[in-house]
Structure 1
Amino acid sequence: MSKAEQREQMANGAGFIAALDQSGGSTPKALALYGVDAAQYGSEEEMFAEIQNMRARIILSDDFDKNKVIGAILFERTLGEQINGKSVADFIWSEKGVVPFLKIDKGLEDEANGVQMMKPIPGLADTLAKADGVFGTKERSVIHEANAEGIAAVVAQQFDVAREVIAAGMVPIVEPEVNIHSATKSEAEAILKAEILKNLDTLEDGQDVMLKLTIPSEANLYDALADHARVVRVVALSGGYSTEDACAKLAENGKMIASFSRALTEGLSKQQSDDEFNAALGSNIDKIYRASI
Structure 2
Amino acid sequence: MPNPQQVEKIRKGDGFIAALDQSGGSTPKALKLYGVSESEYSNETEMFDMIHAMRSRIIKAPSFGKGKIVGAILFEQTMDRSIDGLPTATYLWEKVGVVPFLKIDKGLAAEENGVQMMKPIPGLDALLDRAAKAGIFGTKERSVISAANPAAIKAVVAQQFELGKTVLSHGLVPIIEPEVTITIADKAEAEAILRDEILALLDTIPAGEQVMLKLSLPTVPNFYKPLVDHPKVLKVVALSGGYPRDEANAMLAKNTGMIASFSRALTEGLSAKQSDAEFDAMLGAAIDSIHAASVAG
> Residue type matched to 1:208 in 2?
Q
Partner of 1:106: 106
Q: Is 2:69 the partner of 1:77?
A: no
Q: Secondary structure, in 3 states, of the residue corresponding to 1:173?
A: strand
Partner of 1:124: 124
The superposition leaves residues 122-175 of structure 1 with CA deviations (integer Å, 9 ceiling, x where unpaired) of 101000101120000000000001000110000000000000000000100000
CA distance in 2: counterparts of 1:99 and 1:280, whole angstroms: 23
The superposition leaves residues 89-132 of structure 1 with CA deviations (integer Å, 9 ceiling, x where unpaired) of 00000000000000000000000011000000110100010112
Alpha-carbon shift at residue 270 of structure 1 (Å): 0.3
1:216 to 215, 218, 221: 218
The equivalences for 1:89-100 within 5 A come to: 89-100=89-100
Q: Is 2:243 the partner of 1:241?
A: yes
The equivalences for 1:208-287 within 5 A come to: 208-287=210-289
Partner of 1:31: 31
CA distance in 2: counterparts of 1:97 and 1:178, whole angstroms: 31
Partner of 2:154: 152
2:190 to 188, 191, 204: 188
Alpha-carbon shift at residue 279 of structure 1 (Å): 0.2
> Residue type matched to 2:258 in 1?
M
Partner of 2:204: 202
Alpha-carbon shift at residue 276 of structure 1 (Å): 0.5
> Residue type matched to 2:214 in 1?
K
Alpha-carbon shift at residue 79 of structure 1 (Å): 1.2
CA distance in 1: counterparts of 2:216 and 2:269, whole angstroms: 22
Q: Secondary structure, in 3 states, of the residue corresponding to 2:72?
A: strand
Partner of 1:48: 48
Partner of 1:290: 292
CA distance in 2: counterparts of 1:169 and 1:106, whole angstroms: 21
CA distance in 2: counterparts of 1:13 and 1:152, whole angstroms: 29
> Residue type matched to 1:247 in 2?
N
The superposition leaves residues 173-215 of structure 1 with CA deviations (integer Å, 9 ceiling, x where unpaired) of 0000000111110100000000000010111212210000000
CA distance in 2: counterparts of 1:204 and 1:125, whole angstroms: 19
Q: Is 2:172 the partner of 1:167?
A: no
CA contact (8 A) 2:2 2:172 kept: no
Q: Secondary structure, in 3 states, of the residue corresponding to 1:140?
A: strand
CA distance in 1: counterparts of 2:2 and 2:151, whole angstroms: 41
The equivalences for 1:56-75 within 5 A come to: 56-65=56-65, 67-75=67-75
Percent identity, aligned pairs only, is 59
> Residue type matched to 1:41 in 2?
Y
The superposition leaves residues 226-259 of structure 1 with CA deviations (integer Å, 9 ceiling, x where unpaired) of 1111000000001011111110110111121000
CA contact (8 A) 2:17 2:70 kept: yes
> Residue type matched to 1:39 in 2?
S
> Residue type matched to 2:50 in 1?
E
CA contact (8 A) 1:163 1:207 kept: no
CA distance in 1: counterparts of 2:207 and 2:222, whole angstroms: 26
CA distance in 2: counterparts of 1:164 and 1:287, whole angstroms: 35
- CA distance 1:66–1:273, shift in 2 (3 Å): closer
> Residue type matched to 2:281 in 1?
A
TM superposition outliers: structure 1 runs of 4+ over 6 Å: none
> Residue type matched to 1:143 in 2?
I
CA contact (8 A) 2:17 2:260 kept: yes
CA distance in 2: counterparts of 1:200 and 1:2, whole angstroms: 19
Structure 1, gaps ≥5 residues long: none
TM, length-normalised to structure 1: 0.99
CA contact (8 A) 2:2 2:137 kept: no
Alpha-carbon shift at residue 65 of structure 1 (Å): 2.1
TM, length-normalised to structure 2: 0.97
CA contact (8 A) 1:66 1:97 kept: no
CA distance in 2: counterparts of 1:109 and 1:234, whole angstroms: 25
> Residue type matched to 2:156 in 1?
V
Alpha-carbon shift at residue 13 of structure 1 (Å): 3.2
